[in-house]
Amino acid sequence: MLMDTKAPRIGVFFCDCGETIKDLIDYDELKDFARSLDGVEHISQHGLLCSPQSLKDVASEIKAHGLDRAVIAACSPRIYLDEFREAARRGGINPYMVEQTNLREQVAWIHSKDVKAATEKAKDQLLMSIERSRRMRPSEFGPAAVVNTDQCSGCGVCATTCRAGAITFKVIEGGHRVAEVDRSECKACGACVAACPSGAMNLEGFTNEEIIAEIDAFTEGFLESKEPFPAVLVFACHWCSYPAADLAGLKRLQQSPSFRMIRTPCSARVDPEWIMHALSRGVDGVMVLGGKEGACHYQGGNVKTRNRMALLLKVIEQLGFDPRRVRIEWVNSDEPYRFRNTVDDFVANVRELGPNPSRAPAEEDRMTSALYHGRDELAHPSYR
């Protein structure tokens, strides 16, 4: 995937959500933080960003400031993301250059008793969204798997993984067989991408580059310090565990603020390399949340996740990490209490384990901890 070298012009649009969250997060501090970030060219705050007038204002502000991407800091992307994308289109930018960070359900409402902790989490989630937005690229059709034919080995693993039958093969110059994706059939679950042993597959809308940017933003400085602790990263399925988290917020179920969320289209999209990368960057624990067997939107993505992660746990232990730092759990969309309890239990267990050993190691441990910074061994296909 070619990278655009043009400096991004990012607009950040904050929403009070009808004043339901403005007193639960320090918006002044949050806006000052956003202004300090490279590439953020415009900031505005609205009482109700989803209102027709506010959507018109967003389109006008995008045009007036020459923005090429937008970050919406508001409610769940499951609710109004399409409307924000349409506003971006009217403003003159590709609708898939919009990223939305969930400050309402998954920050303000679940941490409403601790404004300081909620504000710190809001800054992290906003930063992760902004860094992801830098890697976003215009799309004509929206999320779908794509193939880098220069890397494709033609092994066929992607086709056996795809339940939609969207992947076939073609022979290119030189007689080499490569995968080909039928975008009209692709369901954009990302299972083929996470399974690809050569790294030739990617998923527009949830690219490896975008997710790694989120991980890197969250973990900046972790290797030099044992604080904040515990620092937990949660990958949540858009169709199952992510809406459960939204519902936990709607019910105002209070929980630990020590975790940060990354939304994925399916738990099967979670690449083992993401987990290893997060651990190598100093994250204290990683949780993957999919739907229960039989409830997967993609009909079996959670089964692929279970099998893949079982093997990953063995690799994690071989590399010197305590496998208890990674957990895979199943939470359906209508289980907000299970979401709250599952995440809080994992955070508590990670707290008992102590900081990731790669974080600010003692001098005698530095040679051992250097293992966690290696990349070659993490790309091995044996754990995909």
Q: Could you tell me the fold of the domain covering 144-204?
A: Alpha-Beta Plaits (3.30.70)
Question: What number does CATH give the domain 212-378?
Answer: 3.40.50
| pLDDT score at 378 | 42
CA distance 101 to 71: 7
CA distance 237 to 259: 16
| pLDDT score at 2 | 45
Indicate the domain borders of the chain. Answer: 1-138, 144-204, 212-378
Beta-carbon count within 10 A of 91 CB:
23
| pLDDT score at 363 | 60
Q: Are 304 and 297 in contact (CB under 8 A)?
A: no
- As a whole number of Å, the CA-based R_g of the chain is 20
Q: Could you tell me the fold of the domain covering 1-138?
A: Rossmann fold (3.40.50)
Q: Is 229 exposed, middle or buried (0-12, 13-18, 19+ CB in 10 A)?
A: middle
Q: From first to last of its 384 residues, what are the pLDDT tens digits of the chain?
A: 444 568 999 999 999 998 899 899 999 999 999 999 999 999 999 999 999 999 999 999 999 999 999 999 999 999 999 999 999 999 999 999 999 999 999 999 999 999 999 999 999 999 999 999 999 999 988 899 999 999 999 999 999 999 899 999 999 888 889 999 999 999 999 999 999 999 999 999 999 999 999 999 999 999 999 999 999 999 999 999 999 999 999 999 999 999 999 999 999 999 999 999 999 999 999 999 999 988 888 877 667 777 778 888 888 888 889 999 999 999 999 999 999 999 999 999 999 999 999 998 866 555 444 444 444 444 433 333
State pLDDT tens for residues 221-278.
999 999 999 999 999 999 999 999 999 999 999 999 999 999 999 999 999 999 999 9
Is 144-204 the same fold as 1-138?
A: no
CA distance 317 to 5: 39
Q: Is 1 exposed, middle or buried (0-12, 13-18, 19+ CB in 10 A)?
A: exposed
Q: Are 210 and 136 in contact (CB under 8 A)?
A: yes
Q: Are 329 and 342 in contact (CB under 8 A)?
A: yes
| pLDDT score at 305 | 78
* Eight-state DSSP code of residue 104: I
> pTM for this structure?
0.91
CA distance 179 to 84: 34
Cβ contacts of residue 13 below 8 Å, gap of 6+?
A: 43, 44, 45, 46, 49, 58, 61, 70, 71, 72, 73, 74
Strand 167-172, strand 176-181: pairing: antiparallel
